[in-house]
A and B are shown apart, each in its own frame.
Chain A
Amino acid sequence: RKEVEQDPGPFNVPEGATVAFNCTYSNSASQSFFWYRQDCRKEPKLLMSVYSSGNEDGRFTAQLNRASQYISLLIRDSKLSDSATYLCVPGALGGYQKVTFGTGTKLQVIP
């Protein structure tokens, strides 16, 4: 099983819609998780951190489900500028810092 798995999409949603995608992870010991955003031909940039049950930042909400070993990212009131690929990654575990990314989920917000 891969360390991190994501639906590659693309998710095509109209402006103003709410969209959510999940990321499953295999290591139950993971304590922290991160969502990165990557625009076309650009580098990934940190979007949100999740250390416990969840985190909210404006239109973005990240939630963690430890029982089912997945994290989700919810985007409300989608904007055209939200179009990007969203990558999830479990944080480094103490003493083991190999940071492995999922393949990413592509989001396209349509006018």
Chain B
Amino acid sequence: DAGVIQSPRHEVTEMGQEVTLRCKPISGHDYLFWYRQTMMRGLELLIYFNNNVPIDDSGMPEDRFSAKMPNASFSTLKIQPSEPRDSAVYFCASSSHDAEKLFFGSGTQLSVL
């Protein structure tokens, strides 16, 4: 099993640019989660999907953030425009039907200059 795959591993961009993070969940998993991790705030849940449908996006910080899941094997998290305070590690995780045990991707280290 390939596990959860995220890309890119590292992203460095300038303030104001659009950033797109990508995630491929484990095949057969019904749930997909996007988290953001910083030293100050820890691991924050941004949004989660069930069967490709966004269920709870209350953690999305601002309208600059958007997430999509067009099919069961792909999701994107977009930031437009990006700001320095968006710098963090963004993790994608997937889980089977009971959402009890999460499997994380390796994360995307985002730096907005």
B61 within 8 A of partner (CB): no
Q: How far is the CB of A2 from chain B (nearest CB, A)?
A: 10
Q: Is A27 an interface residue (CB 8 A)?
A: no
Q: Find A97's partner among B31, B35, B43, B104 (CB 8 Å cutoff).
A: B31
A43 contacts B91, C-beta separation under 8 Å: yes
Candidate in A46, A87, A99 with the most chain B CB atoms within 10 angstroms: A99
Q: Are A97 and B106 in contact (CB under 8 A)?
A: no
Please tell me if the beta carbons of A99 and B42 are within 8 angstroms of each other in the complex: no
> Cβ of B63: which chain A residues have Cβ within 8 Å of it?
none
Are A98 and B56 interface neighbours, CB within 8 A? yes
B contact patch SS: strand
A97 touches B55 (CB 8 A): yes
Task: Given the known inter-chain contacts A98-B48, A98-B56, A103-B42, please indicate yes or no for A43 contacting B100, CB distance below 8 A.
Answer: no
Nearest-Cβ distance from residue B30 to partner chain A, whole angstroms: 9
Instruction: Give residues of chain A (37-74) contacting chain B, Cβ–Cβ below 8 Å.
Output: 42-46, 49
Number of interface residues, chain A, beta carbon within 8 A: 20
In the complex, the answer to whether B100 meets A91 with C-beta atoms within 8 Å is yes
Residues from chain B with a CB closer than 8 A to the CB of A49 are 100-101
Please give the distance in Å from B88's CB to the nearest CB on chain A: 13
> B50 on the interface (CB 8 Å rule)?
yes
Binary contact track B72-113/A, C-beta < 8 Å → 1, others 0:
000000000000000000010001001111111111000000
The yes or no answer to A12 lying at the interface (CB within 8 A) is no
B69 to chain A, nearest CB (A): 15
Pick the residue among A43, A87, A101 that contacts B105 (CB under 8 A): A43
Q: Does B60 contact A (CB under 8 A)?
A: no
Given the complex of chains A and B, what is the CA–CA distance between A43 and B43 in angstroms?
Answer: 11
Residues of B within 8 A of A (CB): 31, 33, 35, 42-43, 45, 48, 50, 55-56, 91, 95, 98-107
A binding-site residues for B, Cβ under 8 Å: 32, 34, 36, 42-46, 49, 87, 91-92, 97-104
